[in-house]
């Protein structure tokens, strides 16, 4: 996955946009655009989408602290990336929109379940306590999943803008 200097700049900016969007939306608990950006970047950049995703993860650690809450971030966004990578590349536009929104939404609904194993290990939870922790977080996961679904409306426009920008930078003369 060798990247060019141009890609380093682009991926750094995209990761920063992910982080800033999260900060701007923090007044709404569990409502953010990180899933939307992860899906869109994965569709456009495929394997290289990991660069802006991990830029976002590192920025979270730098500005919010490399605490125990941060450790699941090392894999939780990669799971969404992996789910999108498994989707067929060729789907009708209308199907793409619904599928991307659904995958983004599913990640939000499953966030607590995906997060729980590391929390259980770090805090020494029994299986029953981990399940209780998941159940206690279900209302927040519901907000997360529903908001991811509706914010997923932005996925296709972001994909279009990124593809247009890629096309324009490939054809431009420096």
Instruction: Report residue 70 as tokens.
Output: 């941060």
Give CA–CA dist 115/169, Å, rounded.
38
pLDDT tens for each residue of the chain, 174 residues long: 799 999 999 999 999 999 999 999 999 999 999 999 999 999 999 999 999 999 999 999 999 999 999 999 999 999 999 999 999 999 998 899 999 999 999 999 999 999 999 999 999 999 999 999 999 999 999 999 999 999 999 999 999 999 999 888 776 655
Q: Long-range contacts: 104-107, Cβ < 8 Å, 24+?
A: 104/35, 104/36, 104/38, 104/39, 104/80, 104/148, 104/149, 104/151, 104/152, 104/155, 105/145, 105/146, 105/148, 105/149, 105/152, 106/145, 107/35, 107/79, 107/80, 107/83, 107/145, 107/148
Give CA–CA dist 155/151, Å, rounded.
8
Range of the domain at 122: 5-171
**What is the total count of domains within the chain?**
1
């Amino acid at each position: 996955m060798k990247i060019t200097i141009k890609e380093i700049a682009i991926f750094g900016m995209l990761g920063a946009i992910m982080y800033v969007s999260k900060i701007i939306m923090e007044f709404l608990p569990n409502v953010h655009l990180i899933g939307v950006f992860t899906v869109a970047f994965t569709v456009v950049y495929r394997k290289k989408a990991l660069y802006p995703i991990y830029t976002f993860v590192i920025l979270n650690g730098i500005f919010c602290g490399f605490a125990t809450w941060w450790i699941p971030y090392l894999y939780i966004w990669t799971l969404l990336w992996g789910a999108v990578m498994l989707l067929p590349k060729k789907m009708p536009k209308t199907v793409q929109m619904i599928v991307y929104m659904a995958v983004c939404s599913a990640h939000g609904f499953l966030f607590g379940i995906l997060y729980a194993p590391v929390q259980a290990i770090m805090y020494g939870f029994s299986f029953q306590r981990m399940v209780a922790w998941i159940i206690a977080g279900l209302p927040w996961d519901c907000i997360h999943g529903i908001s991811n679904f509706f914010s997923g409306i932005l996925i296709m426009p972001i994909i279009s803008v990124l593809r247009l920008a890629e096309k324009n930078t490939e054809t431009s003369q420096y």
